Amino acid sequence: MKDSAGIEGLVSELQGIVGVDRVSQSRAVREQHGHDESYHAPQLPDAVVFARSTEEVSAIVKACSARRVPIVPFGAGTGLEGHVCAVAGGVCIDLSQMNEIIRVSPDDMDATVQAGVTRKQLNEHLRDTGLFFPVDPGANATLGGMSATRASGTNAVRYGTMRENVLSLKVVLADGRIIQTSRRTRKSASGYDLTRLFVGSEGTLGVITEVTVKLHGIPQHVAAAVCPFPTIEGAVNTCIATIQCGVPLARIELLDDDQMAAVNAYSKTDYKVAPTLMLEFHGTESGVAEQVAMVQEIAAEHGGTDFQWATLPEDRERLWTARHNAYYAGLAVRPGSGGLITDQCVPISKLAECLVATKQDLEGTPIPSCIVGHVGDGNFHTVLMIDPADKEEFARAAAINEKMVLRSLALGGTASGEHGVGLGKRKYMETEHGEALSVMRAIKAALDPANIMNPGKIL
Amino acid sequence: MKDSAGIEGLVSELQGIVGVDRVSQSRAVREQHGHDESYHAPQLPDAVVFARSTEEVSAIVKACSARRVPIVPFGAGTGLEGHVCAVAGGVCIDLSQMNEIIRVSPDDMDATVQAGVTRKQLNEHLRDTGLFFPVDPGANATLGGMSATRASGTNAVRYGTMRENVLSLKVVLADGRIIQTSRRTRKSASGYDLTRLFVGSEGTLGVITEVTVKLHGIPQHVAAAVCPFPTIEGAVNTCIATIQCGVPLARIELLDDDQMAAVNAYSKTDYKVAPTLMLEFHGTESGVAEQVAMVQEIAAEHGGTDFQWATLPEDRERLWTARHNAYYAGLAVRPGSGGLITDQCVPISKLAECLVATKQDLEGTPIPSCIVGHVGDGNFHTVLMIDPADKEEFARAAAINEKMVLRSLALGGTASGEHGVGLGKRKYMETEHGEALSVMRAIKAALDPANIMNPGKIL
């Protein structure tokens, strides 16, 4: 915002809506809201408003809209592509205080929550229902943010991403109107799929204020295992064969040797430092036993024979917490570093080629790195630990990232498997989508003609 | 089209694009293309063009667009809500000759087909791959039409609808431009979900010319059964409890006593005439045995003890063919009748209430009817067999349909579980979607400003 008189008038209006205490122009608060957990440079909003209801968000958006002031929705700030950077200043709407679990229906296996509820909060709330919410990005993100970025995680191979798990959204549009994107029935053929349009729209079409999600029954039996492999090819080929055999794995995660070393150091584990699969099986006791037998047979063919099992809940918890902290473990390898994290995703038939070429690229660079991925979906990340102050190193890392994105695209893949476009992947949208990008632009222009909703993202 | 000189000029242009033989203005061809399999009165296009490639469709659309002539895409003509009725005349683009299976990737478990490929054609093609395509509306519809109407069927409870099974679409936009809606990776967070936007858009945003779909592994073991119940409540409560217990059923279909009588007469079967569940179980041999044991226990609690098993492929084929022909069986109860078929879908916790109230409504009317449904999804249909010539009877049937739609909406459900909006459900869009309908209108206006793409449908 260039016009500081304008922002003062708006701030008074916002204070009138939510009260003086929930509007901040302090540098500390603005700094906290101007960046996420990635390498993207902070860009501060002019003001931060803490909303507590959809109606407040609507009033805030109307006030901003009347002055054409940009709006950036903010959940937990755990994004990885600069989604919350206020590239044009404006007002950040912090939704973290909208953290009410509105309804849980065990009979329908669904729940409606305010956008600021985090995935861990929801699962703690569900503890006694026999149900759980499966989508699990590494961070304890909010469901609003996860919807906005079409997040996924380790369970997606079995339970789907936010695309498959969001049943309906409440959204405040760019002019302040409030819509419900659909009914919460399991299926519907009634009109355009607005739910899926807003899932992954990254705040550019509206502010998500409520999320209705599918829940899933906690499986009768769960087993988890860690299995090292002599080569990364062995690990990835085990994954590919397992998926192609139709084994209904709940999780199949690949970590390379560098990532395993980082995990051991960060999470005080003593796993073998080798390319490794972390697996989880859900089902009945005999169903899990069948899955395990099939995967062990496939893994053995690729040199993976040393399965280390975690069947007790606390052992599994430790295993998956270590996995969820893989990104932070990577950063800790080089204290003070920032992470440039890639998000490659290809058809699974191209995964081995893509992963092996990526590993070779990394061997040729002095920048510390590790690979971790949701290989059952054809998705993996390379974390490049860079010195945020070293511009030359950043440029080298960015060049590696670009090479990897273009390789994914050349192999029929996408620029982002799960982190979203934000600032970091915008330049690849034309290559990935071609003419379809103009359709996205037309939709954006139709729903946000003044371009105030999280401007500068995706398009 | 009022302007017959205009249509003549356009016809010449279309003949220049596809050749004289593939443009028809004959009354017989236009009549064949002016209606679907439902009660909706035929409304004829001015001309029918048979396209054989995306490029031809693009050229046809450009020619129509230049003259602002309406376009109606046509697949197999098996819709049930009047989607292909040419309410404003114009050009019907028949895609049935675009029936090439472009690629099948067993490794990625996906396939790309032209829009005119039917579901049975695809599955016959897949016969030796160990894979199948699960979405199965009653009719042998085209994949283009199934995408356009967000179709589902008996397998949706386990394998999802077209929403979950379409990975990407090739679409000709209203101005003739060609887009690919996304890459075919299993997941992506790269921009707006155009794939899901076009799935269910019913030809109103563009013409779907190619469809990339997920395939699924043929299960190791399959068992199917038919089980009659003393009451419809017993059958529906068995379904609800089974879903809530997390049994991963492949199919669970409910047919009421009237529907079973119709099936017996039409398909020469001798099932007991009673409220009945038709079930199918997919998995390993022991997995199926576990599922069967659980369902038998639940069914017994609700009076369903007489399971009749079909384990041989030919017996299962006979069972499911009888089920797929349920609509035609219903119509055959009253020779010469047309079907007014409802498409109720509610949260499963409301299913028993909705179904029982529906059955009571039907008992009070002289119009022959039967109920059949995908109850695992909360979705069921009432077929009212009406005399197409009897306006009073039609009005009575329409009033029953309206009561049922409004009941579904009041119970948190949707006006259409799987048949789409077309002409028949338009009047309920405002009640179902409220303000969100304006977002649909804005998208329509942005992508088809002259309103030439299947005008008069959905909105």
DSSP string, B377-433: GTEEEEEEEE-TT-HHHHHHHHHHHHHHHHHHHHTT-BS-SSS--TTTTGGGHHHHH
What are the domain boundaries of chain A? Answer: 4-94, 101-217, 221-410
User: Is residue A395 classed exposed, middle or buried when 0-12, 13-18 and 19+ CB atoms within 10 A define those classes?
Assistant: exposed
Q: Look at B188 and A417 and tell me if their CB atoms are within 8 Å.
A: yes
pLDDT tens across B178-214, in order?
999 999 999 999 999 999 999 999 999 999 999 999 9
Provide the 3-class DSSP secondary structure of residue A70: coil
Closest C-alpha among B44, B66, B64 to residue B56:
B64
Return the residue in B105, B178, B186, B418 with the most chain A beta carbons within 10 A, the one to mutate for interface testing: B186
> Which residues of chain A does B201 touch, with a Cβ-Cβ cutoff of 8 Å?
192
Q: Which of residues 106-145 of B touch A (CB under 8 A)?
A: 106-110
Q: Look at B290 and A287 and tell me if their CB atoms are within 8 Å.
A: yes
A440 Cβ under 8 Å from any chain B Cβ:
yes
Asked whether the beta carbons of A354 and A346 are under 8 A apart, the reply is yes
CA–CA distances in Å: residue B414 to residues A285, A302, B165, B338, B418: 38, 49, 21, 24, 10
Do β-strands B47-50 and B91-94 pair in parallel, antiparallel, or remain unpaired? parallel
> Which residue is associated with the tokens 């600021």?
A116
pLDDT of residue A244: 86
Provide the 3-class DSSP secondary structure of residue A389: coil
Q: How far apart are CA B195 and CA B182, in angstroms?
A: 6
> Which residues of chain A does B346 touch, with a Cβ-Cβ cutoff of 8 Å?
185
Q: Look at B439 and A179 and tell me if their CB atoms are within 8 Å.
A: yes
How many other CB atoms are found less than 10 A from the CB of residue B456?
18
pLDDT tens across B299-349, in order?
999 999 999 999 899 999 999 999 999 999 999 999 999 889 999 999 999
Residue range A4-94, CATH number: 3.30.43.10
Tell me the percentage of chain B whose pLDDT exceeds 90: 95
Phi, psi of B161 (to 5 degrees): -100, -170
Q: How far apart are CA B68 and CA B56, in angstroms?
A: 18
Asked whether the beta carbons of A64 and A70 are under 8 A apart, the reply is yes
Residue B226 pairs in a beta bridge with B278, B308
Tokens of A9: 């008038």
pLDDT tens across B149-182, in order?
999 999 999 999 999 999 999 999 999 999 999 9
pLDDT tens across B428-443, in order?
999 999 999 999 999 9
pLDDT of residue A2: 47
CA–CA distances in Å: residue B292 to residues B114, B216, B249, B255: 38, 22, 9, 20
How many other CB atoms are found less than 10 A from the CB of residue B190?
29
Q: Look at B244 and A436 and tell me if their CB atoms are within 8 Å.
A: no
Provide the 3-class DSSP secondary structure of residue B111: strand
Tokens of A57: 């968000």
**DSSP 8-state symbol, B350:** G
Mean pLDDT for chain B? Answer: 96
pLDDT band at B6 (very low <50, low <70, confident <90, very high): confident
Q: Look at A108 and B458 and tell me if their CB atoms are within 8 Å.
A: no
How many contacts does A have with B, using Cβ atoms within 8 A? Answer: 272
Nearest-CA distance A138 → chain B (Å): 16
Residue in A with minimal Cα distance to B219? A246
pLDDT tens across A219-240, in order?
999 999 999 999 999 999 999 9
Nearest-CA distance A13 → chain B (Å): 26
- Do the interacting molecules here have an ipTM over 0.95? yes
Phi, psi of B323 (to 5 degrees): -65, -45
Give the one of B161, B197, B438 whose C-beta lies nearest to A187's C-beta: B161
Q: Which of residues 340-359 of A touch B (CB under 8 A)?
A: 343, 345-349
pLDDT along chain A (459 residues), means of 10: 70 98 98 94 97 98 97 97 97 98 96 98 96 96 98 96 98 98 98 98 98 96 97 94 91 97 96 97 94 97 95 92 94 92 96 94 93 96 93 94 97 97 97 98 98 97
Q: Look at A105 and B349 and tell me if their CB atoms are within 8 Å.
A: yes
B425 Cβ under 8 Å from any chain A Cβ:
yes
> Which residue is associated with the tokens 């280390």?
A308
Nearest-CA distance A308 → chain B (Å): 25
Helix B326-333, helix B257-267: angle, nearest 10: 90
Give the one of A186, A287, A348 whose C-beta lies nearest to B378's C-beta: A186
Helix A313-324, helix A257-267: angle, nearest 10: 120
Tokens of B15: 């003949």
Q: pLDDT at residue B93 above 90?
A: yes
How many other CB atoms are found less than 10 A from the CB of residue A16?
12
pLDDT of residue B5: 55
Nearest-CA distance B241 → chain A (Å): 9
Q: Look at A110 and B347 and tell me if their CB atoms are within 8 Å.
A: yes
Q: Look at B379 and A187 and tell me if their CB atoms are within 8 Å.
A: yes
Phi, psi of B273 (to 5 degrees): -85, 95
Cα dihedral: B445, B447, B449, B450 (round 10): -120
Residue in A with minimal Cα distance to B150? A189
A196 Cβ under 8 Å from any chain B Cβ:
yes
A435 Cβ under 8 Å from any chain B Cβ:
yes
> Which residues of chain B does A346 touch, with a Cβ-Cβ cutoff of 8 Å?
185
Helix residue ranges per DSSP H, B155-231:
156-159, 162-165, 194-198
Nearest-CA distance B410 → chain A (Å): 11
Q: Look at B414 and A377 and tell me if their CB atoms are within 8 Å.
A: no
Q: How far apart are CA B378 and CA B380, in angstroms?
A: 7
Q: How far apart are CA B103 and CA B210, in angstroms?
A: 11
Tokens of B172: 């000709």
pLDDT of residue B2: 47
Q: Look at B432 and A189 and tell me if their CB atoms are within 8 Å.
A: no
> Which residues of chain A does B414 touch, with a Cβ-Cβ cutoff of 8 Å?
182-183, 185, 188-190
A422 Cβ under 8 Å from any chain B Cβ:
no
A101-217: CATH topology is 3.30.465
User: What is the value of pTM for the model shown?
Assistant: 0.97
Q: pLDDT at residue B246 above 90?
A: no
* The residue count for chain A: 459
Return the residue in B80, B155, B162, B185 with the most chain A beta carbons within 10 A, the one to mutate for interface testing: B185
Do β-strands A101-105 and A110-114 pair in parallel, antiparallel, or remain unpaired? antiparallel
Give the one of B190, B414, B435 whose C-beta lies nearest to A416's C-beta: B190
Residue range B414-427: average pLDDT? 97
Q: Look at B201 and A184 and tell me if their CB atoms are within 8 Å.
A: no
> Which residues of chain A does B205 touch, with a Cβ-Cβ cutoff of 8 Å?
192
Residue A169 pairs in a beta bridge with A211
Residue range B221-410, CATH number: 3.40.462.40
Q: What secondary structure, in 3-state letters, does A330-352 show?
A: HHHHCCCCEEEECCEECCHHHHH
Give the one of A179, A443, A446 whose C-beta lies nearest to B435's C-beta: A179
